[in-house]
Amino acid sequence: MTIIVTGGAGFIGSNFIFYMLGKYPSDRIICLDKLTYAGNLSTLAPVMENKNFRFVKADICDREAVYKLFEEEKPDVVVNFAAESHVDRSIEDPEVFLRTNIMGTAVLMDACRKYGIIRYHQVSTDEVYGDLPLDRPDLFFTEETPIHTSSPYSSSKAAADLLVLAYYRTYNLPVSISRCSNNYGPYHFPEKLIPLMIANALNDKPLPVYGEGLNVRDWLYVEDHCKAIDLIIRKGRVGEVYNVGGHNEMRNIDIVKIICKALGKSESLITFVKDRKGHDMRYAIDPTKISEELGWLPETKFEEGIKKTIQWYLDNRSWWEEIVSGEYKEYYSKMYDKR
Ligand code: NAD
Ligand code: TYD
């Protein structure tokens, strides 16, 4: 099988490439990535020499480049991870989110229609469902929960999902969609909660918790997400949406305290800062459909996953230190200095 993985130089896409090359050594994987601020070619160093792997630097919105790649590689499957993925950045500047997340998805699916494909898989997010109230722990997102977005990021992802389902209905394109909860693990860009707190704590910098830190996210170890996508592209039904999440809801403040404890840092580093605009309160996935239909279950417990993740950041300081010393510095001071 030949698989095009877009956005494979980012967090989840790179973990997916490592997982797939390890599990299916005879499959061919082509990573198509624009290498935005969030894409890092050094992340893919361990597979660059693999003869079944190819890296192509291109924008998913660049129709000519995308069609050329499809002509050359004749992929069986496309898994689209490429996206602008950070809510805070989408609040600052929505436009690129609309371009990449919506138009890029359309270009990829047009290529699939033109050249033929066994499966187009869209990597989406639970954020398309909006949020749940904190005082209703009995409520969860199912695949039937109405789309009800809060941020420019989640709105752009929801628009893409609707377009994917429209290409299925209108053109009979064999698509599937996964909507996963928050991931954590190795190669997570340090602008997101968990790696940001690990990196700041290691540098004895303040740990900026938005609002009171009571917002709840449903955390899943990245490899469990990769396994779910692998199952969906091989066994999932065409035209279907699958929610992915492991019932691991945690408040932000508790995550930050766990990180302080694991690193032997004082909780006095925790600084409560101005809340995010439109901040979603709680995300919580009901994964019944993927569990019952495809037998997927999360394998890594949070206590084990967070330990592995923290150890990875300790062992791979140069990976994230390079990032936090570059243009990220400017981003950080713009977002946090006066917060
Ligand atoms: P990321 O920001 O770490 O990586 C995104 C990658 O896409 C980068 O390598 C970047 O260079 C590339 N990219 C961006 N714009 C591009 C373009 N126009 N053309 C080609 N490549 C481009 O993101 P992530 O956290 O790995 O998320 C991957 C996908 O999973 C996204 O679609 C995101 O919406 C979704 N998702 C993420 C989470 C999470 O917790 N991180 C949860 C659920 C779903
Ligand atoms: P984030 O990792 O940006 O993921 P998402 O917003 O897509 O869920 O944020 C996770 C939670 O952590 C969210 O409730 C916002 C909060 N947060 C902070 O409190 N401080 C921070 O510096 C960041 C980046 C996030």
Residue 265, number of CB atoms within 10 A of its CB:
18
Q: With 90 as the cut, is the pLDDT of residue 255 above it?
A: yes
Q: Confidence class of residue 161 from pLDDT cuts 50, 70 and 90? A: very high
Domain holding 83, by residue range, is 2-186+219-247+278-300
Look at residue 173 and tell me if it is in a domain. Answer: yes
Note whether 188 and 11 are within 8 A (CB).
yes
Look at residue 261 and tell me if it is in a domain. Answer: no
Look at residue 328 and tell me if it is in a domain. Answer: no
Phi/psi of residue 231, each to 5°? Answer: -65, -40
Look at residue 243 and tell me if it is in a domain. Answer: yes
Q: What number does the ligand 2 atom closest to the CA of 194 have?
A: 2
Q: How many domains does the chain have?
A: 1
pLDDT one-digit tens code per residue, 211-238: 999 999 999 999 999 999 999 999 999 9
For residue 305 and ligand 2, the question of a CB distance below 6 A is answered with no
Q: Which residue has the tokens 């691991």?
A: 248
Q: What number does the ligand 2 atom closest to the CA of 336 have?
A: 22
pLDDT one-digit tens code per residue, 62-73: 999 999 999 999
Phi/psi of residue 190, each to 5°? Answer: -70, 15
Ligand 2 centroid, distance to 91 Cα (angstroms): 13
What's the predicted TM-score (pTM) here? Answer: 0.98
Distance of CA 13 to the CA centre of its chain: 8
Ligand 2 centroid, distance to 31 Cα (angstroms): 28
**Which CATH number covers residue 140?**
3.40.50.720
- 189: nearest Cα among 307, 313, 314, 102: 313
Ligand 2 centroid, distance to 192 Cα (angstroms): 6
Look at residue 324 and tell me if it is in a domain. Answer: no
Look at residue 318 and tell me if it is in a domain. Answer: no
